[in-house]
Structure 1
Amino acid sequence: MLAQYKLTITHRDEKKSMERRSFGSVILRWFDRCIPAELKVDQEELRKGRLLFGFNILLFAFTVSLAMRQGLSPEGLHKHFPALAISSIVAYAFNITLLWWRRSTRLASYVFMGQLFVVMSLLVIVTGGIASRSMPILALYTLLGFFLLGLKGGLAFGSLIFIEIATLGALASFGINMPQWATGSTIQRDIIASVNALVFTAFLGWLYETTREHFTKALTESLEENKALQIQTLTAQKTNQLKNEFLAMMSHELRTPLNAIIGYSELLKEDAEEQQLDAFMDDLDKIHGSGKHLLLLLQDILDLSSLDIDGYQIELSTFCVSELIHGLELQLETPLLKHNNTFRVEGIDLSNNSIPITSDVQKVRQILFHLLSNAIKFTEHGHITLRVAIHPQTVQFSVIDDGIGIDESLQKEMFAMFQQGDSSSTRRRGGVGIGLALVEKLTKTLNGSIEVHSVKGEGSTFIVTLPNQPTPNAASTKTDA
């Protein structure tokens, strides 16, 4: 799949290289230099900007040539030609300026169509009205409206042309004739008019079709890139799933012999105590402690893999917060003593065994255990505080320490898998960056939120907010007396 994707990109680059050498691409690149950068982001805006710029240049040249070919009789058009030419230059230049000023092809298109309507109406009126040989260009005007403004805009300006034609026809039927300023050879004027119309129509068609082709190619390339990205995403998801399944399988397989090692180390400790073999007690304690630590690490990996593979299943139960915290105190007693830290609970009375909340007790225990373990691990001779705030709809746990803190630049990435806030500190204190990733996933599983406030060198505060009520996507609900 990846090779096919690279081949597609190479083929696309070759096509782009060929397109750059074509005459149409040269003209469009010249047009693009005159279009604001903001409009080039959206392909539709870029298409309209190209059309608008091309039409302005073309119609300026067309207006001047049309004025020049009228015959320029002494009493006729030559008196008004300088004013007409200058007005056209100012009008079209203003339209391009407006496009850059307001960065809006729609506004510039409406102004352009209004300018063009005035110019063409005057041209038709001074060259004979309903009998003017310039009448066919009014149909092209309607076509421009559809190109630049879509269906509604094209119909609106087409209606203006219809009203103008109907008005000129009505005036002619009542014998009211428009002035005829053009003189000279009728055949010559007709030939020039036909050539002008042909050039205008051909340029209009070429510009529209070239722009449409570039737009279609850009859309096709975008679809191809999206398809390639989808393939890459699916491949990455499949790889990630296989990785999680492998981690889960290996964690499960490793736990069996590890439990045996922990069990035998406990038996050996008991035998050593009975036989008063004090020389072996220190080594046996290290074996037992290392085994327990490795078992916790494997359990974390297994939990993370299970969340990714099996989905987020919640088992609700109503349990007592104080009993949960008592259990955590017993688990964390040894590391607290090891790091010479004190621990206190705020917000609830631990002697009160009737403080119920409703959530997944196992997931809440894991969340608090990892947050408290992290706080203890990165605090020496300090204080660890667990603050509990229970509300009718939510329960909030805040784990506060006065340890080493976390640098602000690392706080956004600290919940990523295997991410460590400070690699040097982690190497000294242990850990591989799984705990906080698991905490975040468990919190999201319970439809909760987690935030961190930390100052390097002063300590950290982790705040977990969980819903204190059953959730619709719970897998099952239990109630403990």
Structure 2
Amino acid sequence: MPKQTIEQSIQQLRHIMIIGMAFVGYSLSFIWFYDQAGAVIGSLLLLPVGLAAWLLGWRGGLIAALIGICLNIGLFLLNGASFAEILALGPGLMMAFVVGGAIGWLRSLINKIQTQTSELQRERELLANEISQRKQIEQSLLAAKEEAELANRSKSQFLAMMSHELRTPLNAIIGYSELLQEDAEADQLTNYVQDLSTIRNAGVHLLGLINDVLDLSKIEAGRMELFGQDFHVIELINDLELYIQPQIAKNNNRLVLDVAEDLGVMHSDLQKLRQILLNLLTNATKFTQQGSITLRAKRDGDWLHFEVADTGIGMSSEQVANLFQPFVQAEQSTAARFGGTGLGLAISRSLAKLLGGDIMVESVIGQGSNFQLIVPAFQLAPVTAM
């Protein structure tokens, strides 16, 4: 038997013994009280009834009072009391019931308040412990977050400072391969032209990958600077059309321009805006074959709306949800087929936000994708990325 159950049983036996001794003592002394006080002894019923009510609650107290009253009436009769003397106990008996009920109710109320207070105290202690644990967890998470952010900033600052050291050798490789390719063509060394072209193309591809990594690192390190200048939006569109046409033709695609006439002048970072739109167009041509690429542009007050839509392979909702995360590409088979670092769209969206705008996307598998770029028409002062 559990220790707690044994203690409860002992406590109940102790209460029964105390109540029994009280009734026995009260009954044995009844005759003496009766000889001294006569019929007024009925008022003495308040003492045992109140004690029973306080110990047992109002129900137990009233039952004890009823037992006590019957016992007292029996003792009265044994001592030869008259009927009139027994009736004289009526007010005392009624008072005993009222007082017993009131005392028992008060005792029950006190017990209930004590129980609720104990429960509230336990809940308060549990809540305090939980709050303390959560604070410790939050402090641990905050410390880990700060360490991760510090490490990320250190990495980004290192890569940003390494820009010159990484780009210079590659530019030298690309430049010398172009010179050697021109010399080989002039000397009609056709066997070397293709090899030199391969070296140059590989260098250009590697330089593009490094530029993406460095751009992302500059953005994360807060070292990306934006410089505003005035330019005509239609001239930017024409420049993009000329540049993207060879890639459009490569996969037998068709470029469709839907440009409003009132695009006007824009004051922003021309190179960064061009980089964003060119990346969107390049992605559209990469994932579309024998389809159409549509470039739309319109002005809405102080905002420019650009849209690049394609009829390519499209994306699922899960792919769209992770589309702008750095180094995140499509599923493995698609990534292996089309290549890329998974940085272009992450950089584009970061640049769009630095310009004061954003990029949104809608896509359906097998039907194509639609990218929307919204940027302010006027960036009044150079902005440094934070």
Q: Does 1:456 align with 2:369?
A: no
Identity of aligned residues (%): 36
Q: Does 1:334 align with 2:250?
A: no
TM-score (norm 2): 0.70
Alpha carbons 1:453, 1:460 under 8 Å: kept: yes
Kindly provide the CA deviation profile for residues 210-247 of structure 1, in whole angstroms up to 9, marking residues without a partner as x. 22211211111111111111111111111221232343
Report the equivalent of 1:355: 264
Q: Does 1:405 align with 2:314?
A: yes
Q: Does 1:390 align with 2:299?
A: yes
* Structure 1 residue corresponding to 2:227, chosen from 307, 311, 315: 315
| CA-CA distance at 1:72 after TM superposition | 7.5
SS of equivalent to 1:183: helix
SS of equivalent to 1:450: strand
Q: Identify unmatched segments of 5+ residues in structure 1.
A: 1-22, 24-60, 75-178, 477-481
Alpha carbons 2:253, 2:288 under 8 Å: kept: yes
Q: Does 1:206 align with 2:129?
A: no
Alpha carbons 2:228, 2:379 under 8 Å: kept: yes
Kindly provide the CA deviation profile for residues 102-139 of structure 1, in whole angstroms up to 9, marking residues without a partner as x. xxxxxxxxxxxxxxxxxxxxxxxxxxxxxxxxxxxxxx
Report the equivalent of 1:437: 346
Alpha carbons 1:73, 1:181 under 8 Å: kept: no
Greater gyration radius: 2
| CA-CA distance at 1:431 after TM superposition | 0.7
Report the equivalent of 1:297: 209
Report the equivalent of 1:183: 96
Q: Does 1:255 align with 2:167?
A: yes
* Structure 2 residue corresponding to 1:229, chosen from 141, 145, 167: 141
| CA-CA distance at 1:336 after TM superposition | 2.7
Alpha carbons 1:336, 1:342 under 8 Å: kept: yes
Alpha carbons 1:70, 1:182 under 8 Å: kept: no
| Aligned mates of 1:180, 1:319 — CA distance in 2 | 106
| CA-CA distance at 1:194 after TM superposition | 9.4
The alignment of Structure 1 onto Structure 2 pairs a total of residues equal to: 312
Report the equivalent of 1:267: 179
Report the equivalent of 1:50: none
SS of equivalent to 2:148: helix
* Structure 2 residue corresponding to 1:239, chosen from 151, 176, 188: 151
Q: Does 1:377 align with 2:369?
A: no
* Structure 1 residue corresponding to 2:218, chosen from 272, 290, 306: 306
Report the equivalent of 2:75: none
Report the equivalent of 2:14: none
Report the equivalent of 2:198: 286
| Between 267-276 and 340-349, the greater mean CA deviation after superposition | 340-349
Alpha carbons 1:332, 1:373 under 8 Å: kept: yes
Kindly provide the CA deviation profile for residues 401-434 of structure 1, in whole angstroms up to 9, marking residues without a partner as x. 1111112321111111111124322322221111
TM-score (norm 1): 0.57
Q: Identify unmatched segments of 5+ residues in structure 2.
A: 5-52, 67-91
Q: CA RMSD in A?
A: 3.7
| Aligned mates of 1:387, 1:221 — CA distance in 2 | 54
| Aligned mates of 1:261, 1:288 — CA distance in 2 | 7
| CA-CA distance at 1:264 after TM superposition | 0.2
Kindly provide the CA deviation profile for residues 316-341 of structure 1, in whole angstroms up to 9, marking residues without a partner as x. 22211222233333433432333232
| Aligned mates of 1:203, 1:453 — CA distance in 2 | 60
Alpha carbons 1:367, 1:443 under 8 Å: kept: yes
| Aligned mates of 2:135, 2:168 — CA distance in 1 | 50
SS of equivalent to 1:69: helix
| CA-CA distance at 1:468 after TM superposition | 1.3
